[in-house]
Each structure stands twice: as C-alpha cells, then as structure tokens.
Structure 1
Amino acid sequence: MNYDLIVIGSGPGGYVAAIRAAQLGLKTAIVERESLGGICLNWGCIPTKALLKSAQVFDYINHASEYGITVDGAKTDFNAIIKRSRGVADGMSKGIQFLMKKNKIDVIMGTAKIKKGGKVEVKAADGSVKEYAAKHTILATGGRSRELPSLKQDGKKVIGYRQAMNLPEQPKSMIVVGSGAIGIEFAYFYNSIGTKVTVVEYLDNIVPLEDEEVSKALARSLKKVGIEIMTSANVESVDTSGNGCKATVKTASGTQTLEADIVLSAVGISTNLEGIGLEEVGVKTDKGKVLVDDFYKTNIEGVYAIGDIVKGQALAHVASAEGITCVEKIAGHHPEPINYNNIPGCTYCTPEIASVGYTEKAAKEAGYEIKVGKFPFSASGKASAAGAKDGFVKVIFDAKYGEFLGAHMIGSNVTEMIAEVVVARKLETTGMEIIKSVHPHPTMSEAIMEAAADAYGEVIHL
C-alpha cells in the first residue's frame, strides 16, 4: 500500500496529525501497537481525571454538612472506581476508532519500524510482517514512565503511573517519588480515598516548574489533608524483599527509612525511540530526543517527529498542536511555529493549579521590570458561595509596555480559567485591556481581572 502519510503512534499527537492530514486531502494511515488514543486516552490524561473525579465526589460527600446536607455512611469502592476509570478510557478509545473511520484513515495494528526510501515495516501481533510506502512519515511514539537506577520498577511493589491506575486492591500506604503533575495527582487521589501518602521530591519545592508562591500554597493544602511532603529528599534505594517496601531516603538532616505497601515512581518520562529504525535510517537524536526543525522535519527527507520524543513540553495538547503544524507544513500551508512559552500547564489535584508564561522569578531573570498582581479566592463571591475559597490568581506584566508575561493560579476550576490568559497573550493583550474587559459576576474568572487591577493599583475588592 502506498500513502501520502503514515503516522506511527496514535496518541494525541499521532491521531490528531492523521485527522488533519485527511482533512487536507492526504491519503493517510496510522500505525498503533496497542490501543488507539495512546497513553493519554488509555493510561494517562483521561483515566486519571476519572479517578480524580471519584475522589472529588467522595470529598464533596464528606463535607456535605458544610452545605446543609446530611449524608451518612459514605464509603469508597476501590474496584468500582477503577472500573469506572477504565470504562471512560475505553469509551474515548472507541471514539478515536470512529474518527479514523469517519476521516477514511487506514488503521494498521502492529509495531512499526521506518526503513530507507520512505518504507514502513509493520509487525503484527501474530508475527506477520508487511511493508508500506509513504511520501511522508511522522513519528509520534510518545513516552513511558522513566526508571531511575535506584528505583527499578517491578510493576507490583515499585510501580509507574500505568499500574497506579489499575491496582488490584487499594494500598494502605504509598510513597510517591516525584511531585510533578503525575505524582501530585496520584498522591491526591490515593490520599482522598484513605491511603496514607508520602511525597518525596528531590528539589526544594513540590511542582517545581510552577511559580514558588503556587508551590508553597499547594504544599500547605496537601499537608492540611494529611499528605506528608518531603522536599530536598532523594530515594537512594528501595527494599522489596518483605511484605511491603522499605525506601531509604536521604535528606539534609540525614538518612531515614520509610515503609509503605507501594512505591510509585513519578520522576518523569522516557521517550520511546528504541526499535523504530532511527539508527538504520540515520535520523539524528540528542539526549533521548529526535532533532527537528520548527516544523518537525528531521534531518532525513520525508521523516518527521512530534510529541514527547521532540523538544518542548511533554503534554498532550503540545503533541496535538505539533501534529497539526507539521501536517499543515507538509500540505504546503504556512503555519506559524509554536510558541513554547505560551503553553498552559495544568495539575488536576484539589485545589487545581494552572499556569502559562513566565514565573515571577523567570521574568526578573529575563530582564523585565514587572508589575505583579494577586487576587485571593477568599475575596471572591462565587468562591465563597461554592465553598472553594482556597487559592489565588497571580498575574505578571511588563511594567514598560503592559505585556502579559504570565499567570499562575491555584484554586477550584482554574484549569478551565487559564485559557483566557493563553488567548490574551497570543493576541498581545495588555494589562489595562484585561482590566477594561468586563468579566461576568459572580464567577471565579473575575479573579483574573481583579488580579490585573491589583497589579496596576486599581483593585476594587481587596
């Protein structure tokens, strides 16, 4: 079979690239070795949000009396929570199957390997091998849970994110190593349903990519609900020879041993570059990433790469944007290169965190003279009515021109609010324009306008 485009990998980078290519008239096929939708839909973004929703519902029930409602005897059913999460993931994967059929994209199940001369070899589960030809091939093979030498995963006691959302029974205790989005979301979920959770972070702050004020506020919130947090701490080894796990953790004050049923390694991802033909074809890589230009072309004609395996943030929405940009360039359009400084990041614990652009520290280091505004949700009417007064919105502007440099939020539903700032920054909106854009009342989103007003000394409700 000959194609205009073969996409290897059907995650949010691959399947979106394939659909956009089909829309632009390219004869397209997609190769997937496991389930359509990749890690994001099957073992990542979507099923974790289903787990977190169950935790949130349970939390609501436990605090129902604060809303004038009495609920007795609420308890969790761990297996039912996991089953619901898997059902949500399966439904989304079936949705991708529908989209492939709708857009007349051929789905080839198997493990792909690129070969010279625009050929793609696919080995099916039964061992049979077929070869396909394509003018263009996009590599979108994604990533997997990263393993540290001191934290080898056995899939039972020392686990990655994949096992964490499909455990046969709820652990009584868990050590989460790493406090990025994956680690914090699982820490919140398991703590909410009654597991004793300890988070161990190598750096000085949890969620270390976030603004320091957000990081400290989240740490306070998590400690308040019983999660133990250890920062500037390193897991040197894990002994799994007994019933549970014994983790040796080195801190500034010395070495200590932590015991738990399960250790979850959430120390980032490793890219899936092995066995896909890069060396044979001559595709250049560096430090586990495929080297590409601004439109995701590799050094080999007709071969492209997107998503977790290239530069930029390893996020689903980044991979999707890269897939669209790459395909539009292939089709002869003139897309803009992606601005990686205007990519929103979200963590879906409670309270949620969301951010985009410069942190206060990064803006100062970049040489900007800045105006900073903050508005706490404790001063928001909607937040008070909703019983969600934790957190704040923090905004950063360039003092000279009013450029919207960044926004950092912690609170209820802020992952839905951050898009306003992404669009504002894309449109080069200034601080004063945000202040003069009338926001609806009462809403949580008013806090963005109020924070901007605070930066310019015009805040009303503080």
Structure 2
Amino acid sequence: MADQYDVIVIGTGPGGYVTAIRAAQLGLKTAVVEREHLGGICLNWGCIPTKALLRSAEVYDHMVHAKEFGLSAEKVSADVGAVVKRSRGVSQQLAQGVGFLMKKNKIDVIWGEAKIAKPGEVVVSETKKKPMEPQPPQPKGTLGAGTYKARHIIVATGARPRVIPGMEPDGKAIWTYFEAMVPKEMPKSLIVVGSGAIGIEFASFYRSMGAEVTVIELLPQILPVEDAEIAGHVRKRLEKQGIKIHTEAKVSKVEKASGGVSATVEMKGGKTETIKADKLISAVGVVGNIENLGLEDLGVKTERGCVVIDGYGRTNVDGIYAIGDVAGPPMLAHKAEHEGVVCIEKIAGLDAHPMDKLKIPGCTYCQPQVASVGLTEAKAKEAGREIKVGRFPFIGNGKAIALGEPDGLIKTIFDAKTGELLGAHMVGAEVTELIQGFVVAMNCETTEEELIHSVFPHPTISETMHESVLDAYDRVIHV
C-alpha cells in the first residue's frame, strides 16, 4: 500500500527536519525518511559534538592558566573518556529533541534508505548502513520499508568526508572527523591534513588537550575561504600555541608505521620531509551524498558531486528538490535550514525570496574563534569595488582585556561610494556570537551612517565592531 503525502523529505539533518517542520506549519502532510539518526551529521557527528569537545578544551585551558587570573588549580588533568561521554550526551539529547519536534508537528518518521523510483514516489528499504553507535529504540508507530507517494520530494541527504587516494581512513591510524570525535585515548602526536574549519577546529582541540599537532595545507593560507589578514592572524596565534603549520605543502604518501603513521610531505620549494605521528586526520573537505537515491536514473542534474538547483531548491526534474550540503556550498547547517525554508515556502505558494549566499556567515570555533560574512578585501577589489576598510584590535577594548582575551581583530569593508557594508571579518573571543550583528546589518541594507550612530553597550566586546566601522571613516576613538 502506498501512503500519500504532500511532502517527503529524505534526510533529517538541520536542513531536512527544519524543512519538514515548516511544511507542517503550512498545513502540508509531511513525512521524513531517515536511515540512521535524527538530526543528521550536524547534531550527531558535526556541529554540536565538536563544540562540546571544544568547550571542554577551553575550560581545561582556563584551568591550566588559572594563575593568570589570580586563582590556583593544582594537578589539572583531562579524562578523554569523560570528555567524549559528555559530547555524545549533548548530541543524544538534541537528537531526542528532534524526535519530539517530529511528533509535536505530526510529521511521520519513516526509518530506512530511500530511493526515488519516479517523480512522486519513494521506495524505502531497510537500512544497510551500520550506525557508529547503538541507536535508541524506535518509537511505537514508526513507519518502515515500503512505497510512499508525495507531490514534492526534497533531497536533504547531506555530505560525507572526502576520501583522497592513498589516504583512505581505516578508523585506527587514519581518521575522519567521525573517529576524531570519539578517541579512546589521547594521541601524543597528530597530523591534520587540510586547514578548513573542520581541520583547524580539531587541530585546536587536540593541541589544547596536550597533543603535538602538525597542520598541512595545500593552499598558500590556512582557512582558505577567510580574509587573508584574518587567516594570518589565526596562524600566528596557533603557532604561538605550538601548532606546526605547513602551507603550500602536499602529502604525497602516507604509510602506516608501528604505532602510528608516517607522511611524506612535499614542501614549498621542492623539499621533501617525512612527518611521523600517532594519528592522522584527513580533513580535506566533504562530498554530497547523491548516490543510490535514483537521481541518475531520473536524469537529475548533478555537478561536482552535488545536485544542481535554482534559488528555490528546484532541480531540473519537476517535483524533485534538493537542499543543504547535497546541493552544494557553502556546506553549513544554517545555510541548509534557510534553504529548506525558502524551498518549502515556494512550494506552498508564498512569496519566497532566494537566499543571498553572500550574506551567509561562516564560523570556526578554534581558539581563537573566527567569523565572517560577505566579501573579503581581496574579493571586493576583484569585483572592482572602491572600498573603505576599518580595523580595530581587541587590545583597545576594556572588556577583552578584563577577560584576558586581548588578542583579536575586527575588520569591516564598505563601498566607498555608497557606504554599503560589503563584508565583516573577525578573529578573537566570542566572535562567532558577534558576527550576527553584521549579518543583520547587511540584510537590512544598513550603511556606515546607521552603524556609526548605533549605540553599543559598554563594557562589551561588541564595541570593537563599532570602532571598526568608525576606523573605516577615520573616526576611531580608542586607538
């Protein structure tokens, strides 16, 4: 028997479950298909558990440096098992919360692996993928294998770690972010290949926990998508912490040695160096989960491992949509959520607006934190814009000094002719929380005039944002 729905969403990561909830709010009969765990990678193996790990590392670092705050903490140590247990507990709590939201919004949960047989029809089979940890029992009334029909099918299957030939993860010596989140013991040394957000966050976590860390990046700068000035600041801070960083370097060979790995690295200038470590984390990006969904047979267009969509999530095949990581970069949870809302509101006939990807913020939760939105200085110049650039260092901010966080920088970029805020880039304490102020400003099409006349509370780190704007127009006060 085929069940009829208005919408079936395949995948329950942030994009999938948010889309389903919005669909239900709009009165559409909705179901989600999930093969492994509610909440997807973000809640279970990505955004959330990594932040829990990084929080433990941050607290540990504060304890180690307690003397700097006039405090005493003796025999400080870390229990990696307890740190991991806390992280997993946070994830499980939130995954259960997604289950509650599905029930609250009367969304059917179908467990299994989905394949789109034809537009309007999804065939669900039993899951073949073995979960990385035991799953909670499925609630009574949960649907399973079978054929289900829907007028609109939304693919929200996310992405997985990219595998580089010769660096295939084995779960023992060579890790992806999955294994890096649940170490059974703390490695004494670690190689991180790739310096995007995932690589740098793990480098920061393991260094804070005492491991010797080496980062290898193929491109000229770490955090390649960030403004070069900000990335340079981050590199200096990480190197000061003891992290070794090699840019314009390529791993040409990885061998599993006794008790660890040995990586042959081609350095800038042609020199070859061998680096040994207990573990190696491959953090060279992710690739969309487009396989085994029936997309190829249906003629759904894909490009570079992702589904091609328009501004409303529509593919080239009527009735089939895609959102989130599977639909291409930026591969961020908040992008997936908003993309899903735009998609479902368009389906429901509302006046939906395509998402402006230039106004999607990016955050990296290493120490120091990094956050940005809009154009970098280089991209603004490449676009032919005449710009004004403002900068303000944390050393000029009273709250930052009081917190013991005087190393940081806020950078703002404006159109010199119109005052339009083109981009904002930050490094320092709590900048992942501060960035939203500039995101709102950009969405409201705020100019420098409104920002200059806004009153920022004192004492707060947010005052550095105001001072950066003032600096762009030669009105800075505290430097």
The TM-score with structure 2 as length reference comes to 0.95
Distance in 2, Cα, partners of 1:125 & 1:18: 21
2:305 counterpart of 1:291: no
2:454 counterpart of 1:437: yes
2:432 counterpart of 1:415: yes
2:174 counterpart of 1:158: yes
Distance in 2, Cα, partners of 1:69 & 1:117: 64
2:215 counterpart of 1:213: no
Counterpart selection for 1:36 from 35, 38, 47 = 38
Conserved in 2, the CA contact under 8 Å of 1:296 and 1:304?
A: yes
**Structure 2, unaligned runs of 5 or more:** 130-143
2:275 counterpart of 1:258: yes
Q: C-alpha deviations, 1:56-100, integer Å up to 9, x for none?
A: 000111111111111111100001000000000000100000000
Shift in Å at residue 295 of structure 1? Answer: 0.5
The one-letter amino acid paired with 1:336 is H
Distance in 2, Cα, partners of 1:263 & 1:63: 28
Distance in 1, Cα, partners of 2:457 & 2:302: 49
Shift in Å at residue 460 of structure 1? Answer: 0.8
2:146 counterpart of 1:146: no
Please say which of residues 126-135 and 199-208 is displaced more in the overlay.
126-135
Q: C-alpha deviations, 1:101-131, integer Å up to 9, x for none?
A: 0000001111100111411011124898411
Counterpart selection for 1:173 from 186, 189, 196 = 189
The equivalences for 1:344-423 within 5 A come to: 344-423=361-440
The one-letter amino acid paired with 2:342 is T
Distance in 1, Cα, partners of 2:9 & 2:127: 19
Q: C-alpha deviations, 1:148-201, integer Å up to 9, x for none?
A: 113111121111001100122111111000000000000000010111110001
Counterpart selection for 1:15 from 14, 17, 30 = 17
Q: C-alpha deviations, 1:385-439, integer Å up to 9, x for none?
A: 1111111100000110100010000000000000010110111111121111010
Q: Which residue pairs with 1:46 in the alignment?
A: 48
Q: Which residue pairs with 1:330 in the alignment?
A: 347
Q: C-alpha deviations, 1:302-327, integer Å up to 9, x for none?
A: 10000111133000000000010000
Q: Which residue pairs with 2:153 in the alignment?
A: 137
The equivalences for 1:8-157 within 5 A come to: 8-125=10-127, 129-157=145-173
Conserved in 1, the CA contact under 8 Å of 2:16 and 2:340?
A: yes
The one-letter amino acid paired with 2:311 is D
Shift in Å at residue 263 of structure 1? Answer: 0.5
Distance verdict in 2 for CA 1:386–1:241, change over 3 Å: closer
Q: Which residue pairs with 1:242 in the alignment?
A: 258
> How many residues of Structure 1 are paired with residues of Structure 2 in the alignment?
462
The one-letter amino acid paired with 1:222 is L
RMSD (CA atoms): 1.1
The one-letter amino acid paired with 1:176 is V
Shift in Å at residue 252 of structure 1? Answer: 1.8
Please say which of residues 80-89 and 303-312 is displaced more in the overlay.
303-312
Distance in 1, Cα, partners of 2:353 & 2:464: 31
The TM-score with structure 1 as length reference comes to 0.99
Counterpart selection for 1:196 from 195, 208, 212 = 212
Conserved in 2, the CA contact under 8 Å of 1:177 and 1:201?
A: yes
* Amino-acid identity (%): 56
The one-letter amino acid paired with 1:296 is G
Q: Which residue pairs with 1:460 in the alignment?
A: 477
Please say which of residues 340-349 and 150-159 is displaced more in the overlay.
150-159
Counterpart selection for 1:225 from 222, 241, 244 = 241
Distance in 1, Cα, partners of 2:368 & 2:94: 26
Please say which of residues 399-408 and 303-312 is displaced more in the overlay.
303-312
Q: Which residue pairs with 2:202 in the alignment?
A: 186
The one-letter amino acid paired with 1:447 is T
Conserved in 2, the CA contact under 8 Å of 1:377 and 1:389?
A: yes
Counterpart selection for 1:447 from 419, 440, 464 = 464
SS in 2 for 1:361: helix
SS in 2 for 1:13: helix
The equivalences for 1:294-313 within 5 A come to: 294-313=311-330
Conserved in 1, the CA contact under 8 Å of 2:119 and 2:319?
A: no
SS in 1 for 2:204: helix
